[in-house]
Structure 1
Amino acid sequence: MPFTSHLSSLVPYLFGLEHGGTVTERKPIECWLSDMDGVLVHEGQPVPGADKFIRRLRESGKRFLVLTNNSIYTPRDLAVRLRAAGLDIPQESIWTSALATAKFLDDQRPGGSAYVIGEAGLTTALHESGYILTDIDPDYVVLGETRTYSFTQITRAIRLIEGGARFIATNPDPVGPSNEGSLPACGAVAAMITKATGVEPYFVGKPNPMMMRSALRAIDGHSESTAMIGDRMDTDIVSGMEAGLHTILVLSGVVSKDQIDRYPFRPSQVVDSVADLIPMIDSGT
């Protein structure tokens, strides 16, 4: 067989993809990571079949985490909100960008200090990791989500960064949803601070694969046997791919099937919703 022909026959295996778009020669799926909005809930309502998917995951004993870039709420808060929407997800199965940020800072500078713009989800996570929250010569300025960004707080953050504090942000999302329409979110406020200081933040949340890796460590998972479910190509799928996970795009959120080919990467698998993944929980494939 000519070398070029032999090489072309190996390409799908070198890249881990069959012609149908599924990963080959992978270990069975033992751990599951799932985005929340657009995958399990949509506009405050559960996605059809999401309750059965979560129930089957819990019955199977498979390790799983629900991931969100939202740093406003603690896992306990989110568990209550999800239960009200009909999804019984324990708080220990929820991983937020606030938790990932706290874990990252604890790894980088244990027992450090931070000036925080954010709400209970972020401040609680940092307190529990042993961080001191202060506006006096902090090691870091940490920007998260909040319903009411304060000009006074933003000004203080700018001056602390100018004074040498390192700049961290929980996620790069520029806008967030509300009943009245879009609200400026962490990414937009981070851009304002960057414009004023010339300092770019380090974003911990998706699409940084750091979010995936910290979630894997939290459940003692391994990339070769973990699936990531998401509804966004530019956050969920790309970060899952870069972390070496089996990526599953669901079409119950923001991306439609005809938009997938616009991206220079592709998911391992595409399904209509998490309801289609229930058989995979038992089979692992």
Structure 2
Amino acid sequence: MAEPEPRQTWNYLMDMDGVLVHEEHLIPGADKFLAELREREVPFLVLTNNSIYTPRDLRARLARSGLDVPESSIWTSALATARFLDTQRPNGSAFVIGEAGLTTALHEVGYVLTDRDPDYVVLGETRTYSFTAITRAIRLVEEGAKFIATNPDATGPSREGVLPATGSIAALIERATGREPYYVGKPNPLMMRSALRALGTHSENTLMIGDRMDTDVRSGLEAGLQTILVLSGISADNTAELYPYRPTRVVASIADLVGHSHDPFLRD
């Protein structure tokens, strides 16, 4: 596989779960890598498809794991969804199924949240999916509201095992209405492009680090980024071979990039 041409500087987008933390635990080397980026004043964003939490909430959660990440360096599918809707229909209205991360993001772009004749039904992540709210969403979509979902992830992790996530509930609403949602989060490259705009950088000198081929690597590739797959999350040694596309590099964990943030394609 051909190596990318050397570039003067790299900016970074990186997934959170499986790259920096696993559940509530720091992945070894993540703190050193972020410290290195801060020391070199390298722009970076931490990405997550999870729309439950606000950047402030996530900053506090990461701090408890031993990672110092400012709110301004956290980009969620909720923020990307709000930014997308603001460009599509400024100051619109939405019926929302989700948590504070999503409702706060929509309020901040001037959206009104309502269950009466909304422009959109917006589905996000929550730990308390309500049959009543899902039924209302189905009826509103049938009445003409456009259907948006923050991300297509079918399940999410918990200490007790997997939980149904946004993609599963979206499938329920789609089956009931015959209307397919528009997913904003990964693997939609829209998530990457909105993150690039938030970071103020371009795809040519930005790199995506992730632990999933089907979301992180795919969306990075489709947005024109170089990609690094880490094996500290969901992927195993042979995972990349199962897909018709490949990351630029595969490493065991983010610890392998410590000392090489200026050129992450160098080998020791």
Per-residue deviation, 1:90: 0.6
In the alignment, the residues of structure 2 paired with residue 140 and residue 28 of structure 1 have an alpha-carbon distance, to the nearest angstrom, of: 43
Corresponding residue for residue 163 of structure 2: 183
Distance verdict in 2 for CA 1:117–1:205, change over 3 Å: same
Per-residue deviation, 1:91: 0.8
Listed one character per residue, the Cα deviations across residues 151-208 of structure 1 (whole Å, up to 9, x for unaligned) are 0000000000000000000000001111221111000000000000000000000000
Q: Give the 5 Å matches for 1:12-31.
A: 17-18=1-2, 22=3, 24-25=4-5, 27-31=7-11
In the alignment, the residues of structure 1 paired with residue 182 and residue 140 of structure 2 have an alpha-carbon distance, to the nearest angstrom, of: 16
Specify which of 235, 243, 252 is matched with residue 255 of structure 1.
Answer: 235
In the alignment, the residues of structure 2 paired with residue 124 and residue 132 of structure 1 have an alpha-carbon distance, to the nearest angstrom, of: 11
Q: Give the 5 Å matches for 1:211-226.
A: 211-226=191-206
Which residue identity does 2:24 align to in structure 1?
Answer: G
Gaps of 5+ in 1: 1-16
SS in 2 for 1:142: strand
Which residue identity does 1:121 align to in structure 2?
Answer: G
Q: Does 1:117 align with 2:97?
A: yes
Corresponding residue for residue 142 of structure 2: 162
Which residue identity does 1:257 align to in structure 2?
Answer: D
Q: Is the 8 A contact 2:36 2:259 kept in 1?
A: no
Which residue identity does 2:241 align to in structure 1?
Answer: D
Q: Does 1:194 align with 2:174?
A: yes
Corresponding residue for residue 88 of structure 1: 68
Corresponding residue for residue 183 of structure 2: 203
Q: Give the 5 Å matches for 1:40-189.
A: 40-189=20-169
Which structure has greater helix proportion? 1
Which residue identity does 1:127 align to in structure 2?
Answer: H
SS in 2 for 1:279: coil
| Bigger CA radius of gyration | 1
Listed one character per residue, the Cα deviations across residues 234-278 of structure 1 (whole Å, up to 9, x for unaligned) are 000000000000100011111111221111000001111111112
In the alignment, the residues of structure 1 paired with residue 137 and residue 263 of structure 2 have an alpha-carbon distance, to the nearest angstrom, of: 50
In the alignment, the residues of structure 1 paired with residue 264 and residue 15 of structure 2 have an alpha-carbon distance, to the nearest angstrom, of: 19
Calculate the TM-score normalised by the size of structure 2. 0.96
Calculate the TM-score normalised by the size of structure 1. 0.91
Which residue identity does 1:273 align to in structure 2?
Answer: S
Which residue identity does 2:63 align to in structure 1?
Answer: R
- Structure 1 runs (4+) greater than 6 angstroms displaced: none
Q: Does 1:245 align with 2:209?
A: no
Alpha-carbon RMSD: 1.1
Per-residue deviation, 1:28: 3.5
Which residue identity does 1:210 align to in structure 2?
Answer: L
Q: Give the 5 Å matches for 1:31-42.
A: 31-42=11-22
Which residue identity does 1:84 align to in structure 2?
Answer: R
Which residue identity does 1:250 align to in structure 2?
Answer: V
Q: Identity of paired residues, percent?
A: 68
Per-residue deviation, 1:280: 2.6
Specify which of 249, 262, 266 is matched with residue 282 of structure 1.
Answer: 262
In the alignment, the residues of structure 2 paired with residue 250 and residue 225 of structure 1 have an alpha-carbon distance, to the nearest angstrom, of: 20
Listed one character per residue, the Cα deviations across residues 23-81 of structure 1 (whole Å, up to 9, x for unaligned) are x2253443100000000001210101101011111111111000000000000000000
